[in-house]
Amino acid sequence: MQRKNHILLSIKRMYLDAAKKKEIFEKYGKSNTDTGSAEAQIALFSYRISHLTEHLKSNKKDYSTERALTRLVGKRRSLLNYLKDRDIMRYRTIVETLQLRK
C-alpha cells in the first residue's frame, strides 16, 4: 500500500517532464530545441502558472507556492513586455494563442 502511494506521489510531482517541455517548445518555439525564444519561455511559464494555480485552489495556505506563482507571473509579464517592444505581431500572436489577458 505504501509503495502504491509513493508511486502516485512521484507521478503527481512530475507534472512537467522532459516530454511535456519538448512538446511545448515544439509548438511555440521555432523547433523542439528552441528553448530560448520569448514565445517558448512564455508558453512554458503559462503552463507552470496554470498548474500552480490549480494547486493553490486546493492548498490555500501554501505560501511558498504562492510566492513562486507570483515570481512566475512577473517573469512572464517581463517577457511579454520585451516581446511587445521588439515585435508587436509576435506579441499579439502569443497572447491570442495562449488566451492571455493583456
pTM tops 0.75: yes
The one-letter amino acid at 49: I
- How far is the C-alpha of 88 from the C-alpha of 71, rounded, in Å? 24
Residue range 61-102, pLDDT digits in tens = 999 999 999 999 999 999 999 999 999 999 999 999 999 986
Superfamily of domain 2-98: S15/NS1, RNA-binding (1.10.287.10)
Residue 27 has φ and ψ, to the nearest 5°, of: -75, -40
Residue range 16-65, pLDDT digits in tens = 888 889 999 999 988 888 889 999 999 999 999 999 999 999 999 999 99
Residue of higher predicted confidence among 4 and 17: 17
